[in-house]
Homo-oligomer: A and B are copies of this chain.
Amino acid sequence: MDDGSRTARWERRLGPPLGAASLLYLASYAVRVLAPGLPGPARDLCLAVTAATWTLFVVDYTVRWRLSGQGLRFVRRNWLDSLVVLLPLLRPVRIVRVYDALRERRQGHPVMSLQARVILYASMSVGLLGFAAALVVYQHEHTVPGASIRTFGDSLWWAASTLSTVGYGDAVPVTVVGRVVAVALMGCGVALLGAVTGSFSSWLMQRFARGDDTGPPRN
């Protein structure tokens, strides 16, 4: 209980600064990938920011591990967090939760219906993941001979067509790293479809339930 509350306090305090750090990480990573012609000092600054924020994530993970007092079970139970420590580009997705918690605290109660929150979460996560994936794929593909992803615009275009499961195929990764990222992004696309569809479906069901059980339809 004590440990649980200390973990909770730690997360409440450090949520917002770590969210900001994860955006910083994404930004500095993006600058390094997209602006290779940067002057030396600016490049070094970016690298320093990337390294510092990553270190911050590792420290946060370690502290929460110690606070939990769970040993190796912690790694398995929080496998998503463990993965994020290795792949900090996934980290900005957590900012969605922070953003929602902040809004809730300001208003004293959840400000949106569950469905609206699911759709908002899904869209924001998918946007951030798509951007991160586009960065990684661009970095690994744009210099490969025979690649169809040559500019960052191509990469964003590919990410959008993958996440919506449209998949035109005019821009596709050809390297192994690019394809592994693509398969992960396809999984996100399927989950996005599931979230949007499920929200629609439960929203419709709710309207029927309300209309049938508690009085005349209110729409």
Chain B residues within an 8 Å CB radius of A172 = 168, 170
CA distance A196 to B186 in the complex (A): 13
Q: Decide yes or no whether A191 CB sits under 8 A from chain B.
A: yes
Q: Give the residues from 41 to 90 in chain A that come closer than 8 angstroms, CB to CB, to chain B.
A: none
A175-203: contact bitstring with B at CB < 8 Å (1 yes, 0 no)? Answer: 01001001100110111111111111111
A interface secondary structure, majority: helix
Chain B residues within an 8 Å CB radius of A193 = 190, 193-194, 196-197
Chain B residues within an 8 Å CB radius of A201 = 194, 197-199, 201-202, 204-205
Q: Decide yes or no whether A143 CB sits under 8 A from chain B.
A: no
Asked if residues B179 and A153 are in contact (CB atoms below 8 Å), the reply is yes
Q: Considering only CB atoms, which chain B residue lies closest to A212 in the complex?
A: B209
Q: Decide yes or no whether A167 CB sits under 8 A from chain B.
A: yes
CA distance A207 to B110 in the complex (A): 15
Question: What is the minimal beta-carbon distance from A117 to any residue of chain B, in angstroms?
Answer: 10
Asked if residues B202 and A189 are in contact (CB atoms below 8 Å), the reply is no
Question: What is the minimal beta-carbon distance from A198 to any residue of chain B, in angstroms?
Answer: 3
Asked if residues A198 and B203 are in contact (CB atoms below 8 Å), the reply is yes
Of B186, B196, B206, the contact of A166 (CB 8 Å cutoff) = B186
Q: Decide yes or no whether A208 CB sits under 8 A from chain B.
A: yes
Asked if residues A168 and B168 are in contact (CB atoms below 8 Å), the reply is yes
CA distance A115 to B179 in the complex (A): 29
Of B179, B192, B219, the contact of A157 (CB 8 Å cutoff) = B179
Q: Decide yes or no whether A164 CB sits under 8 A from chain B.
A: yes
Asked if residues B207 and A205 are in contact (CB atoms below 8 Å), the reply is no
Of B153, B179, B192, B205, the contact of A176 (CB 8 Å cutoff) = B153
- Given known pairs A183-B160, A194-B197, A196-B194, the reply for A189 and B204 (CB within 8 Å) is no
Question: What is the minimal beta-carbon distance from A80 to any residue of chain B, in angstroms?
Answer: 14
Asked if residues B160 and A204 are in contact (CB atoms below 8 Å), the reply is no
Asked if residues A164 and B165 are in contact (CB atoms below 8 Å), the reply is yes
Shortest 9 CB-CB contacts between residues of A and residues of B: A198-B200, A198-B201, A166-B167, A168-B169, A164-B186, A202-B204, A194-B196, A169-B169, A194-B197
Beyond the given A160-B186, A194-B196, could you list 19 further A-B residue pairs with CB under 8 A, ordered by the A residue number? A114-B219, A157-B179, A157-B182, A160-B183, A161-B186, A164-B165, A166-B167, A167-B167, A167-B168, A167-B169, A190-B196, A193-B194, A193-B196, A198-B200, A199-B200, A199-B201, A201-B204, A202-B208, A206-B208
